[in-house]
Amino acid sequence: MHLGRRIVDLRRSLRARDAMAAVPLVWIAAVVVIDVLAPPDIHLGPLLVAAPAITIGFGGPWLTGLVATLAVVAQVIVAVVRDRDKLISANHWAQIVALVIVGLSVVIFSVLRERRARELNQVRYVSETAQRVVLRPLPKHVGPLRVASIYLAAEAEAKIGGDLYAAVRTDSGTRLLVGDVRGKGMTSVGDAALLLGAFRAAAHRQATLAELAAFLDGSVCWSLTEPGEKEQAGETFITAALLDIPDEGSEVDMIDCGHPPPIVVRDGRVSKIDACQPAPPLGLGDLVHARYQVDTFTFGVGDLLLLYTDGVIEARNSTGAFYPLAKRIPAWSERHPDPFLHRLRRDLLDHVGGRLDDDAAMIAIERLPT
């Protein structure tokens, strides 16, 4: 199905390109006819330079060069027709030379632009590959859970940043991690990859949620002992929420390490799950001798659980107002994860005017009957 859709899209693109290619050709023909029929003191030849300028907007170097060549030929035809009784005038020679120079400049610019486009496509490919390796997409179904996730990167060309999430199956349920690395850039991506690797390696073991949190905190702290990382001690940390959702029952265990509280939507009502004793962010446990308190909340069949990073609730509009997530949800009719997140994404981007200042990750989970 996807292959057929791509073929259809490619055919549409080619037809649109062919239609666009006719525009500069019609322009050249129109300028030549009007210039030949115009009075002797009127010269429209300089308008031919618009043909290659138009072509560069949708065509590559070869098509742009062809149109530029046709424009020069057209200018020569105009000069020969209008100066049939004498040699080509100096004015027409100047127009021909100028058109040649402009045509070459446009072709060179087109070559450079195409090279830059190839480099950008390669960067995007590497970025998407890194995203698939580091931040694996969550499956649509995990045990009795229906899951949807969206990652919005603040950088225009970025696909991944410091926000992270992961899900791991255990013998009795599903463990989830959502987090946000302090800072931006490649350092935050490396810290996110470190934490995700540690979580995937340890979450399936028969350890309590508190032991898992302590292990993850230690993993982040140990990374600071690597060469070149000591100067970041006390500065690198990761806010995170760890959840243990059993397959049977409706009680969910949670440890909140300085992360925004989850939200449960039940029968149109919104409940924030605030931790009674939040733990410090991961990476700061050694500094404050963290003790991890497990909180429990109800997540039953038909409920919707929303996990998110602070890039959602700290998004500001043009007046500086934060995005009021908890106040927006009750007005929405969507209650399944995929349409719910698409509604949230659209509403969030509308609030900020289309561009976020910080990365934002959102995970919606629905418990299905077992």
Residue with tokens 């806010």: 239
How confident is the model over 12-23, as a mean pLDDT? 67
What pLDDT sits at residue 254? 96
Q: How far apart are CA 134 and CA 151, in angstroms?
A: 13
What mean pLDDT, rounded, does the chain reach? 83
Tokens of residue 355, six digits:
């561009």
Residue with tokens 């998004």: 315
Q: How far apart are CA 110 and CA 58, in angstroms?
A: 10
DSSP output for 184-205: -SHHHHHHHHHHHHHHHHHTTS
What pLDDT sits at residue 224? 56
Q: Cβ distance 293 to 277 under 8 Å?
A: yes
By C-alpha distance, which of 13, 1, 25, 302 is closest to 144? 302
Q: How many residues does the chain have?
A: 370
pLDDT-derived band at 234, boundaries 50, 70, 90: very low
What pLDDT sits at residue 94? 84
pLDDT-derived band at 43, boundaries 50, 70, 90: confident
**Between residues 158 and 83, the one the model is more confident about:** 83
pLDDT in tens, 117-168: 888 888 777 766 766 667 788 999 999 999 999 998 776 555 566 789 999 9
Kindly list the distances between the CA atom of residue 291 and the CA atoms of 63, 222, 256, 285, in Å, as whole numbers in the listed order. 67, 18, 11, 8
By C-alpha distance, which of 194, 246, 244 is closest to 215? 194
By C-alpha distance, which of 282, 242, 238, 291 is closest to 262? 242
Query: What is residue 207's DSSP assignment?
Result: -
Beta bridge partners of 252: 297
> Can you give the pTM of this predicted structure?
0.69
Q: Alpha-carbon torsion 331, 351, 185, 159, what sign?
A: positive
Q: How far apart are CA 303 and CA 336, in angstroms?
A: 9
Strand arrangement of the beta sheet that strand 360-367 belongs to: 141-142, 145-152, 360-367, 304-308, 263-266, 269-272
pLDDT in tens, 305-329: 999 999 999 999 989 999 999 999 9
| Whether the predicted pLDDT of 198 surpasses 50 | yes
Phi, psi dihedrals of residue 37, rounded to the nearest 5° = -85, -10
**Between residues 260 and 120, the one the model is more confident about:** 260
Q: How far apart are CA 60 and CA 77, in angstroms?
A: 26
Beta strands in the chain (DSSP E): 141-142, 145-152, 163-169, 173-181, 238-246, 251-257, 263-266, 269-272, 295-298, 304-308, 360-367
Q: What number of CA atoms fall less than 13 Å from residue 80's CA on the CB side? A: 6
By C-alpha distance, which of 233, 214, 224 is closest to 282? 214
Q: How far apart are CA 28 and CA 21, in angstroms?
A: 12
Residue with tokens 């292990």: 215
Using a pLDDT cut of 70, give the percent of the chain over it: 83
What pLDDT sits at residue 153? 79
**Least confident interval from 190-194, 196-200, 240-244, 265-269:** 190-194
Element (H, E) at 5: helix 2-37
| Whether the predicted pLDDT of 277 surpasses 90 | no
What pLDDT sits at residue 203? 85
Q: How far apart are CA 230 and CA 266, in angstroms?
A: 46
**Between residues 14 and 354, the one the model is more confident about:** 354
**Between residues 250 and 157, the one the model is more confident about:** 250
pLDDT-derived band at 303, boundaries 50, 70, 90: very high
Q: Cβ distance 311 to 178 under 8 Å?
A: no
Phi, psi dihedrals of residue 114, rounded to the nearest 5° = -65, -35
| Whether the predicted pLDDT of 78 surpasses 90 | no
